[in-house]
Amino acid sequence: MAKPDEEIVRRILAGEKRAFGELVDRHKDKAMTLALRMLKNREDAEEALQDAFVRAFHALPRFEWKASFSTWFYRIVYNVCATTLSKKEEGIHIPLDEEDEQTLELPSEGAPPDVEFASNEFQQTVMEEVQKMPQLYGAIFTLFFVQDMSYEQIVEVTGLPLGTVKVRLFRARTMLRSAVTKRLGMKKEITV
């Protein structure tokens, strides 16, 4: 059984600095996925990730044991990426109605297309559309589905209010649904 992250943190704080490599191995790919969804550029994501790991190492003495290491660490990754975005003046501009919870009370748009969920075409389309998702929606979507975090954990990571997290996640999922439906629907029309 794998050792919990917190046990490795204890070893590092006791002076075994090289144990930090185990944490890097465990979290690098998931953190890379989050950074890439936010920054949309591999070079920036790699730099942000390296910076986040180094910051996390130096901040370990201030680690709050009440939170899990992963939640605490992904907050650092999220903040580093958000800072990179703001430096590049690529802050996310979300139209006001996007944050409106009322829009989620509307019935879903039309029936979904008839597709074989197990088909390569469907899976490929979904993955491509996930990668295209706008930055901050992509971040919350990744935290929920890839990092398997709850709404409350996402609130801890992003510092956003619970209502905003829920709306953005729902919005991300409806965007994905629309994009996939549109692409698959269009292909069907072309083949017909």
State yes or no: residue 121 binds other proteins (CB under 8 A): no
Distance CA 34, CA 75 (A): 11
State yes or no: residue 106 binds other proteins (CB under 8 A): yes
Closest contact distance (angstroms) between CB of 121 and other proteins is: 12
Q: Which is nearer to other proteins, 36 or 157 (CB)?
A: 36
State yes or no: residue 57 binds other proteins (CB under 8 A): yes
Q: Is 133 exposed, middle or buried (0-12, 13-18, 19+ CB in 10 A)?
A: buried
Number of residues counted as binding other proteins (CB under 8 A): 45
Binding residues among 126-145 for other proteins as defined by CB under 8 A: 126-127, 130, 141, 145
Q: How many CB atoms lie within 10 A of CB 30?
A: 18
Residue type, 58: H
Question: Around 157, how many Cα atoms within 13 Å sit in the side-chain half-sphere?
Answer: 30
In three-state secondary structure terms, 86 is: helix
User: Tokens 């469907």 belong to which residue?
Assistant: 122
Q: Considering only residues 36, 39, 48, 81, which one is a binding residue for other proteins as defined by CB under 8 A?
A: 36
State yes or no: residue 162 binds other proteins (CB under 8 A): no
Q: Segment near other proteins (CB under 8 A), from 3-11, 71-79, 83-91, 123-131?
A: 123-131
Q: Considering only residues 5, 10, 11, 33, which one is a binding residue for other proteins as defined by CB under 8 A?
A: 33
What would the x/- binding string for other proteins be over residues 173 to 192, using CB under 8 A? Answer: xx-xx--x------------
Distance CA 150, CA 44 (A): 27
Distance CA 132, CA 139 (A): 12
- For 94, the token pair is 């979300």
Distance CA 38, CA 49 (A): 12
Residue numbers at the binding site for other proteins (CB under 8 A): 17-18, 20-21, 24-25, 28-33, 36, 45-46, 49-50, 53-54, 57-58, 104-108, 111-112, 117, 122-123, 126-127, 130, 141, 145-146, 148, 151, 170, 173-174, 176-177, 180
